[in-house]
Structure 1
Amino acid sequence: MFPKALYHNCWIGNWEGEDSRSCWLHDDLADFNTENAQVQNYLIGAYNKYIDMGVDGFRLDTAVHIPRTTWNRRFLPAIQERVAQRFGAEAAKNFFVFGEVAAFVNDKWNRGSVNHSAQFFTWKERKEYSADDEKAALEMYAYEQQQGTGSQPVSDNAFLKGNAYHAPDRSRFSGMNVIDMRMHMNFGDADNAFHNGKDSDDSYHDATYNVVYVDSHDYGPNKSSERYTGG
């Protein structure tokens, strides 16, 4: 359907490496070059068709395999722009986008890699990168890996001020919410799920928008064949 030039030409060797964003996932899962303008225009056109049909949001499968810079520069702003054009600013504000960033670990960060952790995708970029999308993706990856988990932004949007509510600060929000994968990994036991999920709340832009994911057709919590403790 598409010429070979629009796909990446490599295989993933490290699922927590840069190549996980720019190489084939499997024999039958060729990787689109999402930093290519022709590919971007095609995908944005697909988003637009569904928006025009009146959908209320998108679940973005395998979002981790596209660099955050590309989401933040191209796809997320395009979605917001189209919704606002067709249905107004209030509809754009309420349009719900969430991504699957599959991190099958029980830790706050995915094996120490911020670029492969769910909460990372809820934030805007915090510095400028090259205008070229391919260069920008590599620059962002290197910069954020160097910053590490201890220098990532934090938020109190999910927390009360004592017993009082407060307006969340949306200024650093990327436009993408995510599935709470850490909670999912611990859902074999409800108490573990609650405490592990709560422990990560400050690292999301606003954890109150995390999507609860108990199990699916793919697997149960912690990739177990058992859905819950006891069978």
Structure 2
Amino acid sequence: MRLILYAGFHKTGTSSVQRALSQNKALLDSFVRVLMKQDMTALCKAARAWSISRDTLDQGLLQYECAELISSLNPDDPRPVLLASEDLGGHMPGRLGLKTYDAVPDLMGTIRQTATLVRTDIDMSFYFSTRSKDAWLRSCYAQHLRASDLTADEGDYVKNHQTSADFAPILDKVRDVVAPHSVTSASLEASQQGENGPLGPILDLLGVPQSLRHKLTPVPAINTRLPKALQQKLLEINRSPLPYKVRHQQKQSLIAGWHE
């Protein structure tokens, strides 16, 4: 069985990849088995929980959910399996006390170890998308503004979270813990230049023929960074003394109005 795991990183084109996989499911279905967050909610939830707690009980739950998922895959189906969700890499840095992606190597190592125990003949590949440091930090800042109570200015956030954007040492550690299985990566800036956008490197790993790739429906960038003016309004709401529910509703209304 061949399995490719795409676990992020967050804010590196993951939403566009998932939308492209969904919109092109009919074309890709004959070539690959695709599982996204909604298809493995228990495993994703366990990965997020362990990234925060680093607790042995949560790690045990992660192993259990991984074993359950791998066991559920039909070994007689010749198609490769793609697991695609940034939640497999845990929570995004900047949330719930996380400062870096230092949980990712252990998460990938646990998934590798469990999967190979369940299917001793499994052939695993790990793929990560990355992004230039400044662009990634500013995108994370905008995401935290809309989803949390962040009250820092963008400049302060970028200055104080530089280490969270150091992807290279994290990937080196992943290579160590999943060896001899392969680990590859591509920057969002590079993948966006290709015909299939951020989905392209995954299609490369899957060996999807060019004749099929030409037929795929392109997907524009989604979940893009909010305009500066809107970010400022969200920041003002976060800094206000209003109750959380009121602030949340105000932010949701502002964002909805912008999308309209």
Higher relative strand content: 2
User: Which one scores higher on RCO, CA 8 angstroms, separation ≥ 6?
Assistant: 2
TM bucket by the smaller chain? 0.3 to 0.5
TM-score (normalizing by structure 1): 0.34
Larger of the two Rg values belongs to structure: 2
Higher relative helix content: 2
TM-score (normalizing by structure 2): 0.31
